[in-house]
Amino acid sequence: MRNVILVAGAGGFIGGQLVRNFIEQGLSVRAVDQKQVKDWYYRSPEAENVVADLQEKSSCFRVSEGIEEIYNLAADMGGMGFIEHNKARCMLSSLINTHLLLAARDNRVGRFFFASSACVYPDYRQKDAHSPGLKETDAYPAMPEDGYGWEKLFSERMCRHFREDFGLATRIARYHNVYGPYGTWDGGREKAPAAICRKVALALINGTRDIEIWGDGQQTRSFMYIDDCIRGTKLLMNSDYVDPLNIGSDEMVSINQLVDIVEEIAGVKLRRVYNLDAPKGVRGRNSDNALISKVLKWAPSIALRAGMQRTFAWIYDQAKARAEGRSFVAAFD
């Protein structure tokens, strides 16, 4: 009997933590990513770690042989600064999901999880900083984030039709801004929580007293800590719920409030410089958790300040090590 789990995108932030969680449970995991293993954000040596380009159909068929469940978290993505300037690259990720679905069907995989995004929700529902939480039904009529959002929405539909036409058990999570330690914190692909932690950490390390904020700081978001993300993902995968489901915090804050939290954690107050020409994304986005509470009897609950305290401590240590010229490795065993 097959009992091996495939995690696609295992070299990324969420994928790496998902692999670690499975390994801690004593499960067998095939961890796959395009990056060389030494460049993975978190690697578990107990897993079967494989380097493969999952945009290639042959790679998807090869790595899914003998697999019971597939968790597809593989995508070319990053924060708003990346996805606004790399729309074609983001859309090419549709090849990964399409080829993995074909491989899952032909290799008789038991279940298939797809990591979608709140970027599938239309811009016209997110123009107000005080917008209500986004319900799953709000995705249509469709007008998602250009590039990245369209790829996610298209891939959601692919999962649905593979379930309807071929009987493949698919599950779809719409993640809302996942953050935490062991993630991208610089280089242009980081998201707002990590970027703000880095900027505050560098202000402390370098003795500066300024922080650049993209936009006017009034745009709002909710941010979900990685532990909640892993818990929700596994609950959804093992449930009978087949439609897309929000997995995200409903604790909405402005970017200015997020900076307040990090400054408070760091014990510093910085002068804010607003870059109104930088990528800003939608004006307001929050997760409506009514449906997940109903169908899974659960919703993300780790408070933003508690998660940011852990995240800032980790990012500060990495930034400090780099500033002092000490050995720094992005991946941790």
pLDDT in tens, the chain (333 residues): 358 999 999 999 999 999 999 999 999 999 999 999 998 988 999 999 999 999 999 999 999 999 999 999 999 877 677 878 889 999 999 999 999 999 999 999 999 999 999 999 999 999 999 988 999 999 999 999 999 999 999 999 999 999 999 999 999 999 999 999 998 899 888 889 999 999 999 999 999 999 999 999 999 999 999 999 999 999 999 999 999 999 999 999 999 999 999 999 999 999 999 999 988 788 999 999 999 999 999 999 999 999 999 999 999 999 999 999 886 554 444
Q: Taking Cα atoms as reference points, which of 245, 259, 330 lies closest to residue 292?
A: 245
Return the number of other C-beta atoms located less than 10 Å from residue 312's C-beta. Answer: 22
CATH of domain 181-222+251-286+303-323: 3.90.25.10
Q: What is the DSSP letter of 116?
A: E
pLDDT at residue 189, rounded to an integer: 82
Out of 41, 121, 148, 179, which one is annotated catalytic?
148
**Could you give the maximum distance between any two Cα atoms of the chain, in Å?**
60
189 close to 77: Cβ distance less than 8 angstroms: yes
Task: Mark whether 42 is an active-site residue.
Answer: no
pLDDT at residue 1, rounded to an integer: 37
Q: Taking Cα atoms as reference points, which of 162, 160, 192 lies closest to residue 179?
A: 192
pLDDT at residue 327, rounded to an integer: 66
Give domain 4-178+223-247's CATH superfamily: NAD(P)-binding Rossmann-like Domain (3.40.50.720)
Strands (E), the chain: 4-8, 28-33, 48-51, 67-72, 111-117, 169-175, 178-179, 210-214, 220-222, 224-225, 245-247, 252-254, 271-275
> Pseudo-torsion of CA 82, 285, 92, 108, nearest 10°?
140
- How far is the C-alpha of 222 from the C-alpha of 175, rounded, in Å? 11
| 74, two tokens | 């593989």
The boundaries of every CATH 3.90.25.10 domain in the chain are: 181-222+251-286+303-323
79 close to 190: Cβ distance less than 8 angstroms: yes
Q: Angle 192-206/255-266 helices, nearest 10 degrees?
A: 40
112 close to 159: Cβ distance less than 8 angstroms: yes
- Calculate Rg over the CA atoms of the chain: 19
State how beta strands 4-8 and 271-275 pair. unpaired
pTM, two decimals, is: 0.94
The boundaries of every CATH 3.40.50.720 domain in the chain are: 4-178+223-247
